[in-house]
C-alpha cells in the first residue's frame, strides 16, 4: 500500500465508514425494537413469566443449557423443551423437582435447586412463553 493512497485517506475511510454504519445500525435497532411486539407475544409476559426469568437467571441455568441456541452446550436446548415434553408444564416441573441431590454416578445430572412451588410454576411459564416466540422456526427439530 503505497503511492497515492495516503494515511489521511485511510483515516477518513475509518471515520466515515464507521460513522455511516453506526448510523445504519442505530436505525435498524429502532426498526427491530418496533417490530418485536408482533413476534415476542409480550402481552403474555405475566408475573409468573417474570418470576420464571428471574429464577432462570438466579440459578445460572444458561451455564449448562442453551436457550434459543445461546448459552452453554453441556445440557439440552430449552427454547422448545415445553414442546419436547408434550406441551406440559407439569412434565417440566416434575423433571426439575426430581433431580437427585448427589447426582447420578458417572453421568451428567442437573443439580437439585430446591425451588419453591411458585418458582417451579414460574420457570415452567417462562419456558412455555419462550417456546411461543417467533424465532424463525428454530431449532430445526424437536430434539433442539
Partner 1 sequence: MQYQSQMVAKPYFIAAIGLFIGQIIFGLIMGWQYVVGDFLFPEIPFNVARMVHTNLLIVWLLFGFMGASYYLVPEESETELYSPKLALALFWIFLVAGALTIVGYLAVPYATLAQVTGNELLPTMGREFLEQPTITKIGIVIVALGFLFNIAMTVLKGRKTTVSLVLLIGLTGLALLFLFSFYNPHNLVLDKMFWWYVVHLWVEGVWELILGAILAFVLIKTTGVDREVIEKWLYVIIAMTLITGILGTGHHFYWIGTPEYWQIIGSVFSALEPIPFFMMTVFAFNMVNQRRREHPNKAAVLWALGTAVMAFLGAGVWGFLHTLSPVNYYTHGSQITAAHGHMAFYGAYVMIVLTIISYAMPMMRGRAAANSEKAQVMEMWSFWLMTVAMVFITLFLTAAGILQIYMQRMGGDAAQPFMVVQENIALFYWLREGAGFVFLTGLILYVVSFFVGGEERKETA
User: 86 to 115, contacts with partner 1 by CB under 8 A?
Assistant: 101-109, 111-113
Contact call for residue 4 and partner 1 (CB under 8 A): no
Please, what is the angle between helix 47-58 and helix 117-131, to 10°? 100
Choosing from 6, 95, 97, 118, the residue that interacts with partner 1 (CB under 8 A) is 6
Choosing from 5, 94, 97, 118, the residue that interacts with partner 1 (CB under 8 A) is 5
Contact call for residue 43 and partner 1 (CB under 8 A): no
Of 50 and 89, CB closest to partner 1: 50
| Rounded Cα gap, residues 4 and 24, in angstroms | 30
| Least gap, CB of 119 to partner 1 (angstroms) | 10
Nearest-10 Cα torsion for 13, 18, 24, 27? -150
| Least gap, CB of 101 to partner 1 (angstroms) | 7
Contact call for residue 136 and partner 1 (CB under 8 A): yes
Contact call for residue 18 and partner 1 (CB under 8 A): yes
Chain centre distance of CA 28: 21
Choosing from 14, 90, 95, 118, the residue that interacts with partner 1 (CB under 8 A) is 14
Give SS3 for 107.
strand
Contact call for residue 44 and partner 1 (CB under 8 A): no
Site string for partner 1, 56-85 (x = CB under 8 A): xxxxxxxxx-xxxxxxxxxxxx--------
Residue with cell 437427585: 100
Amino acid at each position: 500500500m503505497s503511492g497515492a493512497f495516503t494515511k489521511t485517506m485511510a483515516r477518513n475511510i475509518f471515520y466515515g465508514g464507521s460513522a455511516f454504519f453506526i448510523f445504519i445500525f442505530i436505525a435498524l435497532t429502532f426498526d427491530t425494537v418496533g417490530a418485536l411486539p408482533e413476534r415476542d407475544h409480550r402481552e403474555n409476559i405475566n408475573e409468573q413469566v417474570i418470576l420464571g426469568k428471574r429464577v432462570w437467571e438466579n440459578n445460572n441455568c444458561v451455564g449448562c443449557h442453551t436457550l434459543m441456541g445461546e448459552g452453554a452446550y453441556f445440557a439440552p436446548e430449552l427454547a422448545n423443551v415445553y414442546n419436547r415434553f408434550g406441551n406440559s408444564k407439569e412434565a417440566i416441573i416434575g423433571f426439575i423437582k426430581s433431580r437427585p441431590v448427589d447426582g447420578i454416578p458417572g453421568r451428567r445430572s442437573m443439580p437439585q435447586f430446591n425451588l419453591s412451588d411458585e418458582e417451579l410454576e414460574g420457570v415452567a411459564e417462562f419456558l412455555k412463553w419462550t417456546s411461543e416466540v417467533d424465532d424463525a422456526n428454530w431449532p430445526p427439530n424437536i430434539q433442539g
